[in-house]
Amino acid sequence: MTSPGGADFVPADEREWAYDCASHIGTLDKALNLAAGSAWVVVDMKKDWNRVYP
């Protein structure tokens, strides 16, 4: 991330921090498959933040 006004700067509300099987940032295929098979709870911090941290 660069400073505001920098050539690579992206405003906070336009940033994507999602890592999943189809993300252009990175993928977590192995971890998500392991989670599904191990009964782990995977949360979406954008949608579930208030439930995780009431």
Q: State pLDDT tens for residues 1-43.
A: 567 888 788 777 776 666 667 776 667 788 888 888 998 888 8
* Per-residue pLDDT, 38: 92
Whether 15 and 7 have beta carbons less than 8 Å apart is answered as: no
> How far is residue 27's CA from residue 33's CA, in Å, rounded to a whole number?
11
* Per-residue pLDDT, 16: 61
Whether 17 and 24 have beta carbons less than 8 Å apart is answered as: no
- Give domain status of residue 8, yes or no: no
Residue where the block lists tokens 């009964």 = 39
pTM more than 0.85: no
Residue range(s) defining the domain that contains residue 20: 16-52
- Give domain status of residue 3, yes or no: no
- Give domain status of residue 24, yes or no: yes
- Give domain status of residue 28, yes or no: yes
- Give domain status of residue 7, yes or no: no
- Give domain status of residue 26, yes or no: yes
Domain count, the chain: 1
